[in-house]
Amino acid sequence: MRCPFCGCEDTQVKDSRPTEENSAIRRRRVCPDCAGRFTTFERVQLRELTVLKRSGRKVPFDRDKLVNSVTVALRKRPIEADRVERMVSGIVRQLEACGESEIASSMIGELVIDALRGLDPVAYVRFASVYRDFREAADFESVLGEIARDAIPHGDGELNGSTEAPAEPAESKPTRASKVKAPNAKTSDETH
């Protein structure tokens, strides 16, 4: 595997272990030339999938792109990366199982909505309300671009898709980063 940092062709595997409930293998790699570290995943691919965009364009299905999109919808939500990976794997398996090698972009959007509904109600509302407005005109990736644009200027509370949505955490919520060391913290080891 080529080093993504310096292009060296000969990187070494440092650690290799099963992940995502044994459906993937995660490898930590290190480059002998630049000492760059990166991770690769090995996964079963049952079928080559092509996404049919609304424009009529066909592009190869890209799992990473789906992960990125879902991550945008889950922005600032307390969902572990591992659960996101499992959710995406579930979506991919459904796509592979549908029997078609060409998948309409709208079908992926629907699966994402269904999966988000189970994973996180706030992300679900965030995605679904914007998606409903755009579904006739745009692919779900553009919807997520819209969410990202929306989320940046005025926080996360602007979507009004559903009254059942749980309250958004206030932006002013005290952060847990306030783990400020007490001035005498250093001495704690020395106390008897």
Site for Zn ion, rule CB under 5 A: 3, 5-6, 8, 31, 33-34, 36
Q: 141 to each of 41, 51, 73, 74, 76, how far by Cα in Å?
A: 23, 12, 11, 14, 19
**Smaller CB separation from Zn ion, 3 or 108:** 3
Cα(192)–Cα(189) distance, rounded to whole angstroms? 8
**Smaller CB separation from Zn ion, 3 or 92:** 3
> Least distance to Zn ion from the beta carbon of 11, Å?
7
DSSP state of 30: E
**Smaller CB separation from Zn ion, 29 or 77:** 29
**Smaller CB separation from Zn ion, 4 or 118:** 4
3-state secondary structure 48-93: CCEEECCCCCEEECCHHHHHHHHHHHCCCCCCCHHHHHHHHHHHHH
**Smaller CB separation from Zn ion, 2 or 57:** 2
> Least distance to Zn ion from the beta carbon of 38, Å?
9
> Least distance to Zn ion from the beta carbon of 13, Å?
14
> Least distance to Zn ion from the beta carbon of 7, Å?
7
| Residue 23 amino acid letter | S
DSSP per-residue codes, 128-174: HHHHHHHTTTS-HHHHHHHHHHHHHHH-STT--S-TTSPPPPPTTPP
> Least distance to Zn ion from the beta carbon of 17, Å?
22
